Amino acid sequence: MSDALPHALPHALIVIDVQNDFCPNGALAVPEGDEIVQGINAMMDGAQAVICTQDWHPKGHSSFASSHEGKAPYEYIAMPYGSQVLWPDHCVQGSVGAQLHKDLHHNRADLIVRKGYNPAIDSYSAFFENDRSTPTGLEGYLRTRGLTKLVMVGLATDFCVNYSAVDAANLGFEVEVHMNLCRAIDLYGSLASAVNGMQDAGVVLKGL
């Protein structure tokens, strides 16, 4: 049986960062990150459009702890655009770790949005870089296709899914996040904060 649910409006399925580096044995592994893949595949038939996002960092990206002498992964630093978590090197352009998971039916995607390629700015959201103003172009694509309802799944619940969902809601889209098809990092209580933030923005959380 498909995990897809009937929707009153045609909807786009936004599959966030289901990449090797975010799955077990990856450089920034999200616990059980690979367990959501088959459920996501099952939802694709019910969507009018499928969009996948992909972290796509150059070597030496400013969000990598290795780019800052004396800093360790998961520390915070101040960047011109605000507070930034320092991550292990991950999803480097062209690497195996940056590839979408081999079992994800990414050949079904109408569009793949690559983000985080500006070496000076991280990009969690599918809609904006972390300066909160530089767009990725996804909004225009969805508007052009007349898609106003978005269903989001993927990795990680408390970072890229959260930022994407809140941005989409603030842009006026109707947004659902299927929590059973997401997995979280939960860094310093980030999951609870993300859940509260998404609900406050009007995002519908399914399976919470």
Catalytic residue status for 182: no
User: Is 160 considered catalytic here?
Assistant: yes
Question: Which one from 52, 91, 160, 182 is the annotated catalytic residue?
Answer: 160
Rounded Cα gap, residues 126 and 72, in angstroms: 26
Interior angle at CA 95, CA 20 and CA 69, nearest 5 = 95
Residue 17 structure tokens: 């960062």
CB 125 within 8 A of CB 163: yes
Question: What is the token pair recorded at 62?
Answer: 């400013």
Among residues 89, 91, 115, 149, which one is catalytic?
Answer: 115
- Assess contact for 56 and 98: CB atoms under 8 A: yes
- State yes or no: is 17 an active-site residue: yes
Instruction: Considering the candidates 17, 21, 158, 167, report the single residue annotated as catalytic.
Output: 17
Q: Which of 92, 185, 82 is nearest to 130 (CA)?
A: 82
Residues that are catalytic: 17, 115, 160
